[in-house]
Structure 1
């Protein structure tokens, strides 16, 4: 595999593949397809992929001591791949009818941050929450928007990044006292003819890699928000990315095929597949939720 050249490694045809997570203890890449209520697994050593049925439309997954913490619809729970059993952990009680969880990630302190949104993608009624290791839920002070995407942090944990996908903006917040967000600012925009910012990851150098829905590319931004590198992919709907493999220098990229016309699908036969991009830049290990 040549550096910075995307390669399809799992032609899974997901409607909405997203939330890739690398498990270093297993040497496996996990991601979900919420539209079909599926969990996917890829083993780079063998090249094999496997699919699991889920009891909920999980939009976000995270590592948690040998299990997968997953969030979808209006609940968070555990899924044990070895037994294929799911255990509900918490249910959100006060969400508006039709809302669902869309984005999330683990913070440096081991808490799980996630966002809800209008499932019809019409009204700005999103909300952010912090699931602490003791299973308590705390709201985060983030302004409601239509589609929240991305939940990742700078290497030192002092900056939180998220996306206002509809407005084509990536936002940054300062993180104070563990979970108080201040100094909201526009980190960068993708409004100059590019796509819509979706899932992201931060590498070991503090640069943000963002997947562009309808942009057909992954973009690496400096900590100041300037474009450092853009990598084109042969599919348009890029949804998320994370670093994996033993050296954390393979960028795994999830994609979608939902909403594409028959003509677009003919032109993008690998839409919905998992891609891998070898880089000369190391990522950072996926943080694990530290509760039980």
Structure 2
């Protein structure tokens, strides 16, 4: 049993860069990835069983698709994944002209459109952008490029898009216009020097924005107006992203990372890279599957 606001390691996966957790209620299982380990994982919290598959490239995220199967964001493109065969099938190439980029984080909106971001794998150039995949088409969101994008995440009413500039230590909010595109971008939250780097954001059912803190030893929650609500402290430095799960969507899972830790830091953080969980007093949102597209039958 996990405790309120007290994270505990629930799966000793030891990921180099754990990321992209997503709870699938019909399966009652949590899917997540290890980007640098090129692994796709599926965790059953009842049996504590972990199933894993090798990915053909760095894998940033996994999300459900309408009608079954899963979509993943690999370096170079969007791929369908079939758990039965373990095969990854290319759906669309992304940023073929930027071989140094990779896909990093993603979400879906209330209409089943996929929003995803890219980043410079060397973490140097401002080449990361945010895209939308809808009706089979990939389009640039028009948001300003940054080195490491994270998110986006979307409010329960679908009217606000949150997106993170990780190296800039900022989370921004944009209105979603009548045409479905972001507009009126403004600063939502800034992480102070020494507070860590905002990683993957998610939004709970009450509209609060949660972010993992890489090198920040925890996760933070902000109210819809940007007011700080709380910090959840972790026994590991690199907390990457959260996901609300269980039947009531009030168990919060968190991926973590060993990336960047020295040998001494690894010894001091034996649970680094593991999957964690804690209980919250607010529920999350159910993930909307990606809508089918013209050449997906």
State TM-score, norm by structure 2.
Answer: 0.95
After the TM superposition, list the runs of 4 or more consecutive aligned residues in structure 1 that deviate by more than 4 angstroms: none
Contact 1:145 1:164 in 2 (8 A): yes
Partner of 2:202: 201
C-alpha displacement of 1:95: 3.3
Instruction: Give the distance between the partners of 2:140 and 2:178, measured in 1 at CA.
Output: 15
C-alpha displacement of 1:192: 4.2
Instruction: Give the distance between the partners of 1:284 and 1:97, measured in 2 at CA.
Output: 34
Instruction: Give the distance between the partners of 2:152 and 2:174, measured in 1 at CA.
Output: 11
Of 61, 65, 68 in structure 2, the residue corresponding to residue 66 of structure 1 is 68
Contact 1:216 1:236 in 2 (8 A): yes
Instruction: Give the distance between the partners of 1:99 and 1:203, measured in 2 at CA.
Output: 30
Partner of 1:119: 121
Partner of 1:81: 83
Partner of 2:55: 54
Instruction: Give the distance between the partners of 2:99 and 2:52, measured in 1 at CA.
Output: 30
Contact 2:95 2:101 in 1 (8 A): no
Partner of 2:256: 255
Instruction: Give the distance between the partners of 1:113 and 1:19, measured in 2 at CA.
Output: 13
Deviation per CA, 1:143-187: give whole Å up to 9, x if none. Answer: 011111111101000000011001100000000124321111110
Instruction: Give the distance between the partners of 2:243 and 2:82, measured in 1 at CA.
Output: 21
C-alpha displacement of 1:94: 4.8
State TM-score, norm by structure 1.
Answer: 0.97
Contact 1:126 1:147 in 2 (8 A): yes
Partner of 2:108: 106
Deviation per CA, 1:240-291: give whole Å up to 9, x if none. Answer: 0110001100000000001100000001000000000111211111121012
Instruction: Give the distance between the partners of 2:171 and 2:106, measured in 1 at CA.
Output: 15
Q: How does 1:1-292 map to 2 (within 5 A)?
A: 1-64=2-65, 65-92=67-94, 94-132=96-134, 134-291=135-292, 292=296
Instruction: Give the distance between the partners of 1:81 and 1:56, measured in 2 at CA.
Output: 17
Range moving further from structure 2, 6-15 or 98-107: 98-107
Contact 2:165 2:171 in 1 (8 A): yes
Instruction: Give the distance between the partners of 1:159 and 1:67, measured in 2 at CA.
Output: 28
**Pairwise CA RMSD of aligned residues?**
1.2
C-alpha displacement of 1:123: 0.9
Range moving further from structure 2, 25-34 or 119-128: 119-128
Instruction: Give the distance between the partners of 2:179 and 2:46, measured in 1 at CA.
Output: 38
Range moving further from structure 2, 146-155 or 61-70: 61-70
C-alpha displacement of 1:29: 0.2
Contact 2:60 2:74 in 1 (8 A): yes
Aligned residues: 291
Instruction: Give the distance between the partners of 1:178 and 1:36, measured in 2 at CA.
Output: 38
Contact 1:200 1:242 in 2 (8 A): no
Instruction: Give the distance between the partners of 1:230 and 1:10, measured in 2 at CA.
Output: 22
Gaps of at least 5 residues in structure 1 are none
Contact 1:140 1:179 in 2 (8 A): no
> Secondary structure of 2:36's partner?
helix
Gaps of at least 5 residues in structure 2 are none
